[in-house]
Amino acid sequence: MKKILSKPESLKDAVLSYCPGCGHGVVHRLIAECIDELEIREKTIAVAPVGCAVFAYDYFNFDVTESPHGRPPAVATGIKRTNPDKFVFTYQGDGDIAAIGMAEVIHAANRGENITIIFVNNANYGMTGGQMAPTTLIGQITETTPFGRDPKREGYPIKLCELLSTLEGTTYLERVSIHSPGNIIKSKKAVKKAFQCQIDRKGFSLVEILSNCPVDWGMTPIESIKWIEEKFIKSFPLGIVKDKI
């Protein structure tokens, strides 16, 4: 019998700690497949965030460093500036990048750092039990918005790609989703394009991936997929936000 599908070399043979139905596993696999296909595993240095993906170094089969909460773009700047020939990417959640780490991402983007950011947006703080994130939708119920997010009290969902697109230092920004096989394929294309952007030394690239968090959203995995399709995408439209490649 011929083996036609196997685990990417860039993923370790580990049991993921993510909740049942969570999208992080899919995103990890997409990243691993792209790194394998681009043959950059041995020159990759990744930056893990604080949040659900904090254990990324246990799952990815390449060099990974930890970073304080929100600081991965600064850590990645330090790595890439001193090692321009290495491949450097950060993996960040919505709280990490758009709340506590907003300054770091804006300035790394504005400097046009030749790094890639994989931004997993699941509209809440997953690791800490589902609190409001900067990307939580209007009306969405979370642990800290028990009556639904009210813009008068909690402001509006932040659209990071659109925000960063105004900066001249950014090269490639795209928002994708993993709620269906077709969209997973599109997500992989976006990740690969962003990685290639860095390999070709074209500057700052970021892919925002809308992902599901069934446990903290209080939904079944199938309901959470539907929520992405019916609600999430309406607030966070998919597509290329900026492409200077």
Partner 1 sequence: MIRKLMKGNIALCEGAITAGLKSYFGYPITPQNEITSYLSRKMVNLKRVFVQAESEIAAANMVLGAAATGSRSMTSSSSPGISLKQEAISYMAGMQVPALIVNVQRGGPGLGNISGSQSDYFQAVKGGGHGDYKIIVLAPNSSQEMYETSYDAFDIAEKYRTPVMILTDGIIGQMMEPVEFNRVEKKYLPEKEWFLNGCKSRNPRSIKSLFMEDGALEKHNIKLQEKYKLISENEVKYELYMTEDAETIIIAYGISSRIAKSAVKLARKQGIKAGLLRPKTLCPFPSKIINSLAKINVKFLSVELSHGQMIEDIKLAVNGTSKVEFLGKAGGGIVTEWEILNKLQN
Q: Binding residues for partner 1, per CB under 8 A?
A: 12, 41-45, 47-48, 54-55, 57-58, 60-68, 71, 74-79, 81-83, 86-87, 103-104, 106-107, 111
CB of 13 to partner 1, least distance (A): 13
Q: Phi and psi dihedrals of 46, rounded to 5?
A: -100, 160
Residue 224 CA, distance from chain mean position? 18
When the beta carbons of 68 and 148 are compared against partner 1, the nearer one is 68
When the beta carbons of 79 and 190 are compared against partner 1, the nearer one is 79
CB of 157 to partner 1, least distance (A): 24
CB of 53 to partner 1, least distance (A): 12
Specify the DSSP element, H or E, that contains 195. helix 181-199
When the beta carbons of 23 and 51 are compared against partner 1, the nearer one is 51
- What does DSSP assign to residue 18? P
Q: Which of 81, 102, 78 is nearest to 92 (CA)?
A: 102
When the beta carbons of 77 and 170 are compared against partner 1, the nearer one is 77
CB of 139 to partner 1, least distance (A): 33
Determine the Cα angle at 126 with ends 69 and 76, to 5°: 30
CB of 41 to partner 1, least distance (A): 7
Q: What burial letters (b/e) apply to 122-149, b meaning 16+ CB within 10 Å?
A: bbbbbbeebbbbbbbbeebbbebbeeeb
Residue 15: which residues within 8 A CB-CB, separation 6 or more?
Answer: none
When the beta carbons of 10 and 136 are compared against partner 1, the nearer one is 10
